[in-house]
Amino acid sequence: MKIAIGSDHKGFIYKEQLIKLFPRIEWINVGCESEVYSDFPLYVKKVVAQIYNEKVEKGILLCGSGIGMTIAANRFKGIYAALAWNPESAKLSKQHNNSNILVIPTDFVSCSMAQEMIKVWLEAEFLGARYQERITMLDTF
């Protein structure tokens, strides 16, 4: 499985740790490369580009609050970025909303919690049916 992963400076440490915690995943690390201040939209665009170019099916973004990255990612057609705060919200984002990008707020969750969130998100399956109807509605905006 290939997954694009990106962070700004606030998510850098978690990004590096999470890559090591999931050795079976083929990570496409789009940056950033250090804890030096960086602008999150650059990394959102890089993760989205990996999905658009069909190099990956999913992405993970990490930053302090997760809010800006979620807003930025959801501006792109066909991107369903979900800001999750715990494993249950990560799981539901996939089951109910077919999220293809998981956004993790590193200022508010531990790295072990982030690891669990990724695990359940990857294991969850989209439930379709009425949930697909809602996504179809969103796609008409």
Tell me the catalytic residues. 63, 96
Pairwise CA distance, residues 110 & 27, whole Å: 21
The gap between the terminal CA atoms of the chain, to the nearest Å, is 31
Are 24 and 117 in contact, with CB atoms under 8 Å apart?
Answer: no
Structural element, H or E, at residue 6: strand 2-7
Give the separation between CA 77 and CA 56, rounded to whole angstroms: 16
Q: Locate all alpha helices (DSSP H) within 12-123, ordered by sequence.
A: 12-21, 40-52, 67-73, 87-97, 111-123
d(CA 70, CA 33) in angstroms, rounded, equals 20
